[in-house]
Amino acid sequence: MVVYLPAIGEFAIYHGDERFYTDGALVMLRTGDWTTAATADGVPRFNKPLLTYWLIAGTFGSFGIGPTTARLASLLTGLMTAWLVWHVVRRSYPDEDVALVAGALTLAQVELGVLARRATPDMLLVGFVTLSLTGFLLLAQGRGRGGAAAAAWIGAGLGVATKGIPAVAAACFGLTAWVAGGTDHAPARTVFRPAPIAAAALIGSLER
């Protein structure tokens, strides 16, 4: 993935789906209507939730309009994904070298590098699902507390706000892993905290 970073702003790696999200973000900035994504012609587009459009519009507004800023959210989420893998492995194994190898292998994934250079929801979904599963895994191991519960639920909510149902399936898998942790897992009062669950529900409601 790191090898690909210098080319993040190149038009040569343009993917056709990127126009849906960059056009939608530009329309939001032009009209001030943040509740409806639209094509360049102003036709409403309801194919995907709003979060991706908002993130791209946010980077456009903060750093200028261009291919690099359009892909910035995906790039940062790709790096976050590798960090999460490093973090959860470091918490799970006593040998820190194992965590470094895991993080490096994540960065070396070709598909991760491809998705991290696209202004589409795909890398965001991967990152938010990884955040959710990291939280649930730590809870299943009895290693996580409030922070792990927040990551588990809010990561799922962000995933739903990015691409809908796939993130719900990931959260169900994470809960299954927590149950399978048996007596070693974190207690229910730690997992089912009202605040992160409410935050996840609010964020997920952006899914439409």
SS3 for the chain is CHHHHHHCCCHHHCCCCHHHHHHHHHHHHHHCCCCCCECCCCCECCCCCCHHHHHHHHHHHHHCCCHHHHCHHHHHHHHHHHHHHHHHHHHHCCCHHHHHHHHHHHHHCHHHHHHCCCCCHHHHHHHHHHHHHHHHHHHHCCCCCHHHHHHHHHHHHHHHHHHCHHHHHHHHHHHHHHHHCHHHCCCHHHHCCHHHHHHHHHHHHHHC
Position 185 scores a pLDDT of: 87
**Rounded distance between C-alpha atoms, residue 198 and residue 154, angstroms:** 9
Assigned token pair, 199: 């935050």
Would you write out the chain's pLDDT as a tens digit for each of its 208 residues? 555 556 666 655 667 899 999 999 999 999 999 998 998 888 898 888 999 999 999 999 999 999 999 999 999 999 999 999 999 999 888 889 999 999 999 998 989 988 999 999 999 999 999 999 999 999 998 877 789 999 999 999 999 999 988 889 988 999 998 888 777 888 999 999 999 999 999 998 876 6
Closest by alpha carbon to 158, among 7, 50, 64?
50
Distance, C-alpha 79 to centroid of its chain: 11
**Rounded distance between C-alpha atoms, residue 136 and residue 55, angstroms:** 26
Closest by alpha carbon to 112, among 68, 79, 140?
79
Collect all residues with Cβ–Cβ distance below 8 Å to 172 and sequence separation of at least 6.
Answer: none
Position 113 scores a pLDDT of: 87
Position 2 scores a pLDDT of: 55
